[in-house]
Structure 1
Amino acid sequence: MQTPAAARAIGFGPFRVDPRTRELRKGGSRIRVPEQSVRILLSLLDRAGDVVTRDELAAMLWPSDTLVDIEHGLNSAVRRLRDALADSAERPLYIETVPRVGYRFVGTVAVPQALPDLTAVEDDDAEPRLTTGTQAESTVARVMSSAPQRRWLVATAMVLLATMVTIAAWRGKRTEGAAATARPLPVPLTFEGGLQTDPNVSPDGQWIAYASNSGGNFDIWIRRLSGGDPVQVTQDAASDSQPDWSPDGSRLVFRSERAGGGVFVVPATGGASRRISPRGFRPRWSPDGRHVVFAEHVLTGLNLNLQVIAADGGAPRHWPGRSLGAFGWQPRSSSVLMFASLFGPFEPTLESWTVGAASTTRWVVADKVVGAFRAERLVVVAGEELIPSSDLSSLYFIGASRGTRALWRIDIDATARRVVSGPHRLTTLPEANNANLSPDGRRVVFDGSARNAQILSYALSNEKLASDPVPLTSDVVHAEMPTLSRDGRAFAFVLTRPGSPDRSELVGRWPGESRDRTIRVINEPGEVLALPRWNSNGTKLVYGFVSNATEPSAQQQLRIFEASTGEDTPLTSAHAVVTMEFPSGWTPDGRHILVASSMYAVGKSAIALLPIDAAPAAEHSRRPITSAADASLSAAVMSPDARWVAFRVRDFEGQAAPRIAIVSARGGDRAAWTFVTGGIEPADKPCWSDDGATLYFTSGGSGAMNVWGVRFDAVRGVPVGEPFKVTAFDGPGTHILSDIRVMELGAGGGRLMFPVVRPKGGLWMLELGAH
Structure 2
Amino acid sequence: MAGKPMRGAPFGRERRGTCRMDRDDIADEGPGLTRRDFVAAGGAAVAWSLLGKAGGAAAASMPAPGASAGPAPNPVSFGDIPVTLREGTNVSIALSPDGKTIAMDLQGILWLMPAEGGEARQLTGYLDDIARPDWSPDGGMIAFQSYRDGNFHIWTINSDGSGLLQRTSGLFDCREPRYAPDGRRILFASDCGGNYGIYVLDLRSGDVTVVVDTPHEDSEPVFSPDGRRVAFVSGGQLIVLDEQGAQTVVAQGAVNAPAWTPDGRGLVYRVASGTPRDMRSSRLYRSGVPITGEDEDVFPFPVSWLSADEIFYTADGRIKRRHLAGGDAAPVPFTARVTVAHAGDYPRRRRDFDSEAPRPVKGISFPVLSPDGGKIAFTALGQLWCLDVGTARPRQLTDDSYAKTYPAWSPDGKWLAYSCDRGGKLDIWLRDLASGEERQLSRSPSAMKQSSWSPDSTRIACASQDGYLYVLDVASGAMTRLLHQTVWSGRASWSKAGDVIALAAVQPYSSRYREGVNAILTCELSNGETAYHLPGPGLSLDVRNVNGPIWSPDGTAMAFTMKGTLWSMPVDPRGRPTGAPRPLNDETTDSISWSGDGGKILYLSNGSLRLLTMADGSIETLPLSFTWALAKPSGLQVVHAGRMWDGRAEEMRSDVDILIEGNRIAAVEPHRPDRGDAAWIDAGRRTVMPGLIDMHTHREMGNQFGDREPRIFLAFGVTATRGLSDNPYLAIENRESVDAGRRVGPRHFATGDALDGSRVFWDGMRPISDDGQLERELSKAEALEYDLLKCYVRLPLRLQRRVVAFGHSIGIPVTSHYLFPAVAFGADGHEHMGGTSRFGFSRTGSSLGRIYQDVLAIASGCKGFRTPTLFGLEGMLGDWPGLLDDPRLSVLFPAWEQAPLRKAAAAGPSKPVPMVAHQVEGVMSLMREGVKIVTGTDYPIVAPALSMHLNLRAMVRYGMRPVDALRSATSVSGDVLGQGIGAIEAGKLADIIVVDGDPLRVIDDAARVEQVMVNGFLHDVEGLIAPFRGKDAGAATETPQHATAGPAAQGPLRLASKSRHWWHDERWVEEVRRSCCLPT
Using the size of structure 2 for normalisation, the TM-score is 0.28
Larger Rg: 2
Using the size of structure 1 for normalisation, the TM-score is 0.38
* RCO higher in structure (CA 8 A, sep ≥6): 2
